[in-house]
Amino acid sequence: MKTIRILASLLLGTMVFQSHAQQQLSLSDAIKFALQNKKEAKKAKLDLENSQYQIDEVRGSALPQITANGSLKYNVLIPEMVLEAGGQTQKIKMGQPWNSNAVVSLNQQLFNQSIFTGLKAAKTTKEFYQINAQLTDEQVIEKVANAYYEIYQEHLKLQTIENNLQSTTKTKDVTEGLVNAGLAKKIDLDRLVVNLNNLEAQKQQTMNAVQIKENALKFAIGKPIEEDIELSQETFEINPTIAVETDNVENRTEVQLMKKQIELYELNKKSKVADLYPKLSLGGDFGFNGFGKGFPIGGDFTWPKTSSIGLNLSVPIFTGGTIKARINQADIQIRQAQVDLEDTKLGLNLAKENAKSQIKISLLTIDNNRRNVVLAKGVLDDTKNNFNNGLASLTELLDAERALADAENNLNTSLLNYKVAEVQIIKANGELKSLINE
């Protein structure tokens, strides 16, 4: 009795664990989870956070720099200087056995074009990473949406196979009764059994495909593979007006990111030009230079003060053309980025037009495939009726069932093609985040 209770407890625990492990996942939920957990989204947010530290670093270089230095030295051999006076030569020691110094220094940049340009570049870098984080989010959303819709296609395919199995099983049961009554051939029953076995094999293959695509979705959203998921009940909604109008590619995140990258290259060029400007800074220090015969603490030791203040000016006169070469290299980098920008715009326009064309083709294909499904169902119903009345052969019945399955699979494929193209249109309009609220 105790063993039965233990087994019952283990079984109940397993059921509870499975109910918690498996959860319904909508497209919006999947996207939200991915934006919080996927590596790419996390790294983009860390890059954005790091850009603020870059600004702080450059800003700090424009503020006063204060340092403190100290040293303590014992002269084992004190340097000597030889002096000759009145025909006599004398040796004079230059220093004391113990020497020490402690100095606090201040340096303030008064004019340094490189620092000013660097501060602008740091702020632009933050804006770059803000746009990059947005682009990363869009890329994650696109991958998740496509993976999500692919699972739905497999579920629809699985449903078609289930319907075929039910229909063929009913036909097989009827035929089996007729064979037993001597009113049908056993070969017809064998053909139906073979067809059922083939459908079962297709079912297993499709179930395996569902599992593989679910694993791909888990990876796309950053969810542990061992956790189970269940897609919520949704439908492939069709919006015929979605391809009528799309935004200009100038508003695309990819274009905005590349423009910001060009701004950074232009600031990089200015930083090279800044090396031709003079640099002026203010410096000052205050400290003590100590010396004595004994140890600084408790010995014969004196601490005379020292202090200074002054300006430091650095003017580049001739650099051998190195700065000019760096400026030219930076200029080439800008022009290369501008070429890449124009090529990206062409690619985005091409993708947008292809998506619009695919939407239009998919809408026509969906409409045609839906009509084919209706016709195939009608043909199958008539063929079943004729078969039951002995007016149609088993071959005609199997062909009708296969035609319906093909029509339904074609419809499912056209629906997936539409949803993939729809994602591209939404992407072209810069509205991928609208999928979160669907």
Kindly state whether residue 390 falls inside one of the protein's structural domains. Answer: yes
**What pLDDT, on the 0 to 100 scale, is given for residue 369?**
92
37 shares a domain with 27: yes
Three-state SS at 284: strand
Side chain identity, residue 152: Y
Which residue, among 345, 344, 339, 337, has the nearest Cα to 265 in the 3D structure?
Answer: 337
Burial class (CB in 10 A: 0-12, 13-18, 19+), 90: exposed
Q: How far apart are CA 143 and CA 170, in angstroms?
A: 41
Strand partners, 170: none
Domain of residue 104: give its range.
64-110+278-315
What is the per-residue DSSP string for 129-176?
Answer: HHHHHHHHHHHHHHHHHHHHHHHHHHHHHHHHHHHHHHHHHHHHHHHH
For the record, the structure tokens of 15 come out as: 């059921």
270 shares a domain with 282: no
Q: Within 10 A of 194 (CB to CB), how many other CB atoms are there? A: 11
Three-state SS at 320: coil
370 shares a domain with 258: yes
Encode pLDDT of 249-259 as tens digits: 888 899 999 99
DSSP letter at 341? H
Alpha-carbon distance values, 333 to 265, 337, 339 (Å): 7, 6, 10
> How many domains would you assign to the chain?
2
Pick out the chain residues at pLDDT < 50: 1-21
402 shares a domain with 359: yes
339 shares a domain with 402: yes
**What pLDDT, on the 0 to 100 scale, is given for residue 116?**
85
Which residue, among 135, 138, 221, has the nearest Cα to 432 in the 3D structure?
Answer: 138
**What pLDDT, on the 0 to 100 scale, is given for residue 298?**
66
DSSP letter at 26? -
384 shares a domain with 243: yes
Q: How far is CA 384 from the centre of its chain?
A: 53
**What pLDDT, on the 0 to 100 scale, is given for residue 244?**
64
**What pLDDT, on the 0 to 100 scale, is given for residue 243?**
66
DSSP letter at 96? -
**What pLDDT, on the 0 to 100 scale, is given for residue 20?**
41
Assess contact for 249 and 80: CB atoms under 8 A: no
Three-state SS at 297: coil
202 shares a domain with 126: yes
36 shares a domain with 101: no
Assess contact for 363 and 238: CB atoms under 8 A: yes
**What pLDDT, on the 0 to 100 scale, is given for residue 17?**
37
Outline where DSSP puts E strands in 8-126.
23-25, 65-74, 80-85, 88-93, 98-111
Kindly state whether residue 17 falls inside one of the protein's structural domains. Answer: no
Alpha helices (H) along 282-391 = 322-388
Are β-strands 229-231 and 23-25 bridged in parallel, bridged antiparallel, or unpaired?
A: parallel
Kindly state whether residue 1 falls inside one of the protein's structural domains. Answer: no
Kindly state whether residue 4 falls inside one of the protein's structural domains. Answer: no
User: What is the value of pTM for the model shown?
Assistant: 0.76
Place of tokens 């015929």: 240
Kindly state whether residue 105 falls inside one of the protein's structural domains. Answer: yes
Q: How far apart are CA 176 and CA 170, in angstroms?
A: 10
Kindly state whether residue 11 falls inside one of the protein's structural domains. Answer: no
Q: How far apart are CA 38 and CA 219, in angstroms?
A: 8
269 shares a domain with 136: yes
**What pLDDT, on the 0 to 100 scale, is given for residue 257?**
93
104 shares a domain with 116: no
**What pLDDT, on the 0 to 100 scale, is given for residue 247?**
66
- Specify the length of the chain in residues: 438
164 shares a domain with 297: no
Kindly state whether residue 3 falls inside one of the protein's structural domains. Answer: no
303 shares a domain with 165: no
CATH of residue 206: 1.20.1600.10
Assess contact for 104 and 398: CB atoms under 8 A: no
Kindly state whether residue 5 falls inside one of the protein's structural domains. Answer: no
Place of tokens 């609220």: 437
Domain end point (choices 295, 315, 335): 315
